[in-house]
Amino acid sequence: MNVGNWVGKRALLYPERPFLKEDGQEWDNQQFDARVNRTAHALAELGVGKETRVAMLMANSSAFLEIFFACAKLGAVIVPLNTSLALPELAHIVEDCAPRLLVYSSDTLAKVAHLKTLLGADVHYLIHGTAASCDDSRLQDVTMDRPSTVPASDEAWDLDTPLLIMYTSGTTGVPKGAVLSHGNFLFGAIHSLHSYHLDDTCKSLVVAPLFHIGALAASVTPVVYAGGALVLKSFDNPSDIITCIMQEKISFMFAVPVMYEMMTKAARWPSADFNAVHFFMAGGAPMPVPLIRRYQQEKKVQFAQGYGMTETLRITALDLADAERKAGSIGKEVFHTRLTILTDDGREAAPGATGELVVKGPTVFQGYWRKPEATAAAMHGGWFHTGDLGRRDADGFLYLVGRKNDLIICAGENIYAAEVERAIEQHPQVAEAAVVGMPDAKRGEVAAAFVRFEDGGVPGEDELLRFLDGKIATFKRPRKIISVETFPRNKAGKILKEELKKTFEGR
């Protein structure tokens, strides 16, 4: 089924049930479906149709969801853009995906002005909000008088029709677009309903950025499919989030671990009453077991732990009944997914042994956009090699151990060492850089850079960090820079990053 039609089906069956609440405004199923249809008609007039790419550079809003479901109805492919990316990073993505339309919020106007110099003349632009000296049409204006009926479409739909291209950095630091289909999201929703018993009474608080796969595939689409309601709120004040959970009787929330930690330090925490909460879910970084225990013991709230990737959606889940007994586990593979653990020689790992997680199932992506070589390297016989290391205990529960590549996950944001290293090495006094992930109590991990400088001068840490401004996103910048004279290397000359981590941790 077309994901966009989920909204229409809800409007047909339960027109007056709540769909979305944002900043005091509320829409029932029928009202929101009408908004989506008007948006779809407006986009179609701009040439948006089946497999047309539509890029979105905007923070969470009802408009984001309108465009998402409108594009889905038209068969267009949505390309969410991370608003915190630096211009060179955004430029690479938009040039790679070649969108027909770019929809952006007014606070990103300066970035869009630069992107316009890179895109062709046939690209259309819509702005959400108002901005002085901007000639682009406003989203609100172009959708206002359009029909609220379902847009006509003669296209045949199938589960393999692309829905989304979500860019994720590769091991080389070059962003790759993971192509996800309507079928991927359908089975992702089915897995959520099966694993966590979501139904039409569920109310999801959406605080994580919708330009990340976690928020879309965990806190939005499964709830829409189940018939539940959404509440959009910016995570500006943890006490306000707690108040919202209580007042709105939120039953479910997906967030990154640092958000949950911030809530425990909020003034509202001692009086927080989470009786309506069915469970919380964390993603983007491992949820610290002590933090899980604190929520369990102080607020009687369980965490729906699990594991997924941009390329796979959620592929494991820990049953809520096992949440305390197996805290720290990512659970077992979900119903329609096959998962095995392979050793370096390609054999299935014995129970308790560590190996690479390899998965197959209906939520595994179609491949990397315009990168057949990268797709072939990751997929073997329909099995996706995650690059993550894990083990299975005697009871069949899975645990993550580490990563085969250099991925650093900082407060839910992916950082690849090679990308940061390349940026640092642009400095004229830098000879070589090696970036590793270091544990951080708040963010899970942060980037730390070991730098070998050229003879003749060593720039200060502040100077080097200023040099990175505009080259990489702020969250990717190293939190620690350490000057070294030489790097430990293996016989092939490769830097031994595990040795660097030991040096750092010993300081």
Q: What per-residue confidence (pLDDT) applies to 154?
A: 53
Which among 300, 365, 357 has a CA at the least distance from the CA of 332? 357
Q: Is-same-fold flag (197-304; 407-505)?
A: no
Residue 6 CB partners (closer than 8 Å, separation 6+): 69, 221, 224, 225
CB of 209 within 8 A of CB of 60?
Answer: yes
Give me the long-range contacts of 190-193 (CB less than 8 A, separation at least 24): 190/225, 190/335, 190/336, 191/313, 191/314, 191/317, 191/334, 191/335, 191/336, 191/337, 191/363, 192/218, 192/222, 192/226, 192/314, 193/222, 193/225, 193/226
Contact 111, 195 (CB under 8 A): no
Instruction: Please report the DSSP string for 156-211 in residue order.
Output: ---TTSEEEEEEEE-TTS-EEEEEEEHHHHHHHHHHHHHHH---TT-EEEE-S-TT
Q: What is the pLDDT of residue 492?
A: 47
List, for residues 424-455, the tens digit of each pLDDT value: 988 988 888 899 998 888 898 999 999 989 77
Do 176 and 418 meet the contact criterion of CB atoms below 8 Å apart? no
Residue 464's alpha-carbon distances to 428, 450, 461, 467, 468, in angstroms, are: 10, 12, 5, 5, 7
pLDDT of residue 491: 47
- Helix, strand or coil for residue 27? strand
Give the per-residue pLDDT at 130: 84
Could you report how far apart the first and last alpha carbons of the chain are, in Å? 56
How far apart CA 79 and CA 56 sit, in angstroms, is: 6
The phi, psi pair for 401, rounded to 5°, reads -110, -40
Domains of the chain, by residue range, sit at: 1-157, 197-304, 407-505
CB neighbours of residue 119 within 10 Å = 17
pLDDT value of residue 504: 62
What pLDDT is recorded for position 100?
A: 98
Residue 228, token pair as written in the block: 């539940």
- Residue whose entry in the numeric block shows the structure tokens 């905007």: 58
- What DSSP string runs through 49-91? -TT-EEEEE--S-HHHHHHHHHHHHHT-EEEE--TTS-HHHHH
pLDDT computed for residue 171 by the predictor: 44
| pLDDT tens for each residue of 352-396 | 998 999 999 999 999 999 999 999 999 999 999 999 888 999 999
Which amino acid would we find at residue 335? Answer: F
Q: How far, in Å, CA of 162 to CA of 180, rounded?
A: 6
pTM for this entry:
0.85
Crossing angle of helices 5-13 and 62-74, in 10° steps, is 100
Distant-in-sequence, close-in-space partners of 355: CB < 8 Å, separation ≥ 6 = 341, 342, 343, 344, 348, 349, 389, 390, 391
Give me the pLDDT at residue 337, please.
Answer: 98
Write down the CATH number for the domain with range 1-157: 3.40.50.12780
Q: Is the dihedral of CA 179, 207, 314, 394 positive or negative?
A: positive
CATH number assigned to the domain with residue range 407-505, chosen from the 4 options 3.30.505.10, 3.30.70.1350, 3.30.300.30, 3.40.50.2300: 3.30.300.30
The pLDDT score that the predictor gives to residue 172 is 52
State the 10-residue block means of pLDDT for the chain, 507 residues long: 94 98 98 98 96 97 98 97 93 97 96 94 94 89 95 77 88 81 98 95 97 95 98 97 98 92 95 98 81 93 93 95 89 97 93 94 98 96 93 94 78 83 87 88 91 81 92 94 85 73 68
Token readout for 343 is 């050793």
Cα 434 to Cα 418: distance, rounded to the nearest angstrom: 8
CATH classification number, 197-304, choose in 2.60.120.380, 1.10.3720.10, 3.40.50.980, 2.60.120.20: 3.40.50.980
Backbone CA torsion sign across 293, 296, 298, 301: positive
* Spatial separation of the C-alpha atoms in residues 84 and 89, rounded to whole Å: 10
For 248, half-sphere exposure in the C-beta direction (CA atoms, 13 angstrom radius) is 28
User: Minimal CA–CA distance to 202: which of 253, 273, 251?
Assistant: 251
